[in-house]
Amino acid sequence: MAIQKEHTQQERYKAFSHVFDEGTLRAVFKMSSQGMFDKLQSPIKIGKEANVFTATKGDGLICIKVYRIACNFKKMYEYMAPDPRYSGLKRNKMSIINTWAIKEYRNLLRAREKGVIVPKPIAVHKNILAMEYIGHNEASPQLNNKAPENPEEFYEMLISNLRKLYQDAKLIHADLSQFNILNHDEKPVLIDFSHAVDLRYPDSRSMLERDIRIVCTYFNKLGMKLDYMEETQRVMK
């Protein structure tokens, strides 16, 4: 499998800055020495809380998501505190950031076990998450960057996945938009599960409605006529 085309020096600097502090570098080295991957390559995504890179593993690729040490960990704590799965979370910066990474790993694992199409989580260590690479010569684009050729068909596959996520995995994505859905060979792949909550989370219903409303708004711009309340009911029943 070919490596992604080279990014500019400016892009590479922006992707690596504020991510690889001394502790993160040690964590990267440990994961590499344990055979999780061979070598970090180009950045795929530069986000507010984490950056995602390709990494070689044998003759293929995987993704490495590195959560920023300089992120708003207090906001992360406030978000996780009501989640019964993390009721004993300490108010320690690194503990919060590392738990945030573990949370995404477990959410992905839980979703995938129930048949939701998400990247396969491979390993998590400290503030680093290793997961399946979705793409061919280049990473599959976000839905925001590549609209589906058949919006109705794509949407039905997406709703099927959201129904499995809600009914079987008992999870709500809670940060869903066209930026967190990949268009992989005209099929949806859900990504970015760090915000996902289970159904016991306070006000989880409104989170589901918000997810569906944002998705419906996107597809309505492509010519569909969706009512987000009706679509929310489709997911829940």
Catalytic residues: 175, 192
List the structure tokens of 4.
């992604």
Nearest one of 48, 46, 55 to 14, comparing CA atoms: 46
Instruction: Compute the distance between CA of residue 222 and CA of residue 202 in angstroms, rounded to an integer.
Output: 33
Q: DSSP state, 139? A: B
Place of tokens 């399946």: 132
Q: Which amino acid does the sequence have at 85?
A: R
Residue 99 vs residues 44, 56, 127, 199: alpha-carbon distances, Å? 23, 26, 8, 19
Q: DSSP state, 86? A: G
Find the angle CA(144)-CA(72)-CA(104) to the nearest 5 degrees.
60
CB 226 within 8 A of CB 219: yes
Nearest one of 104, 116, 111, 109 to 192, comparing CA atoms: 104
Give Cβ neighbours of residue 53 (< 8 Å, ≥ 6 apart). 15, 40, 41, 42, 43, 44, 63, 64, 65, 66
- For residue 197, list its beta bridge partners: 172
